[in-house]
Structure 1
Amino acid sequence: MRSTFKLLFYINRRKIKKNGRCPIMGRVTLDGKISQYSTGLEIEPDLWDAKVGKAFTDGRKTGNITGEKRNELNRLNSLLEALEEKAKAAYKRNVDSYGFVSAEIIKNAVTGKSDVKETLLSLFDEYNGEYAKRVGIDRTRHSYVRYL
Structure 2
Amino acid sequence: MKSIFRTSFYLRSNYLNKEGKASVMMRIHLNGERIALGTTGVCVDPEMWDSTLGKVRGRAKEALVTNAQLTSISTDLQMIFQRLEFSEELSLERIKSEYLGKREDMETVLSLFTKYNNDMYAQIGCGVTKANYRKFDICKRHFAKFLQEKYARTDLNIIELTPIVIHDFDVYLKTVVGQCFNTAIKTLKTFKTVIIFGRKAGVFNHDPFLNIHFKTKRVDRGFLTDEEVDT
Provide the TM-score with structure 2 as the length reference: 0.41
Q: Please identify which structure carries the higher helix content.
A: 2
CA distance in 2, matches of 1:94, 1:117: 24
Shift of 1:28: 0.5
Any runs of at least 4 consecutive aligned residues in structure 1 with deviations exceeding 6 A, and if so which? none
82, 85, 97: which is aligned to 2:75?
Answer: 85
Q: Distance in 2 between matches of 1:27 and 1:35?
A: 6
1:94 aligns with 2:84: yes
CA contact (8 A) 1:83 1:110 kept: no
Who is 2:11 aligned against? 11
The SS at the match of 2:90 is coil
How many equivalent pairs are there?
105
For 2:96 and 2:11, how far apart are their aligned partners in 1?
17
**1:116 Cα shift?**
6.4
Q: How does 1:1-148 map to 2 (within 5 A)?
A: 1-36=1-36, 37-58=38-59, 70-96=60-86, 98-111=87-100, 113=101, 115=102
Within 2, Cα distance between the matches of 1:81 and 1:38? 15
Supply the distance in 2 between the matched residues of 1:100 and 1:39 (Cα, whole angstroms). Answer: 25
Equivalents in 1 of 2:65, 2:99: separation in Å?
18
Measure the CA separation in 2 of the matches of 1:46 and 1:4: 31
Gaps of 5+ in 1: 59-69, 119-129, 131-148
Aligned-pair CA distance for 1:5: 1.7
1: CA distance, partners of 2:63 / 2:97: 26
CA offsets, 1:60-103, max 9 Å, x none? Answer: xxxxxxxxxx111110000000011111110000124x343111
1:57 is aligned with what amino acid? G
TM-score (ref. length: structure 1): 0.62
* AA in 1 matched with 2:85: V
Q: What is the root-mean-square deviation of aligned Cα atoms in Å?
A: 2.2
Q: CA deviation at 1:43?
A: 0.2
- Name the one with the larger strand percent: 1
Q: CA deviation at 1:105?
A: 2.1
Alpha-carbon separation, structure 2, partners of 1:85 and 1:78: 10
Taking the aligned partners of 2:25 and 2:57, their CA distance within structure 1 comes to 17
Return the index of the structure with the highest Cα Rg. 1
For structure 2, the 5+ residue unaligned runs are 106-121, 123-231
